[in-house]
Amino acid sequence: MKNFIEKMPQNYKLAIGAVIVIVAGILLLKSPQKKDGLDEIPLDISQSEQVVTSAPKRTKTKQADVSTDVSSQVDTRSYAELILAFQGRTLQFGNNCVVRMSDQVYKIGSEIFLDNRTNKNVSIKIGSEVYELPSYGYKLARLNTEGQFRVDCGDYKNVATVTVQK
């Protein structure tokens, strides 16, 4: 094989090299593109170890459909522990407020994990309840009212649906 390549004229070698470069370029362009904005988010959990320290709060409005019930005790679990504890009960917001698992169903009284994976503060609205999440921050929310609720994220409307059932 080595003799074959050595005996090959220089212009053939250049043509084969060019074909290899073109094929590699085509393969790169045809590779699946990151569409949800979440693949680009660093999952370095050390930058997200924030603690939920809010006092207990229940919000009632004319259309009270979701209420916050955050324990007054400091939650000492790390971000990684919360991710594991709330597996399947997480709304994770990525670039342009793209949500992983955007249509979810929960039972009344369920606690969910709201997780902002961007470097910008974001306002999350579930029904009539608003949650302010700092960059790479998170909050826990308890769902106390039955119904189907649209989730808004900043200027992006209806990025997810949360259904609460008995």
pLDDT score for 21: 74
pLDDT score for 157: 93
| Contacts of 37 by beta carbon, 8 Å cutoff, 6+ apart | 94, 95, 96, 98
- N-terminal to C-terminal alpha carbon distance within the chain: 72
pLDDT score for 27: 67
| Contacts of 75 by beta carbon, 8 Å cutoff, 6+ apart | 51, 52, 53, 82, 140
Question: What does the domain layout of the chain look like in residue ranges?
Answer: 1-31, 45-165
pLDDT score for 14: 79
pLDDT score for 73: 45
Contact, 38 vs 98, CB < 8 A?
Answer: yes
pLDDT score for 158: 92
Pairing of strands 147-153, 99-100: unpaired
Provide the whole-model pTM: 0.57
User: Domain 45-165's class?
Assistant: mainly beta
pLDDT score for 117: 93
Contact, 64 vs 77, CB < 8 A?
Answer: no
Residues (pLDDT < 70) of the chain are 1-2, 24-25, 27-75
pLDDT score for 112: 92
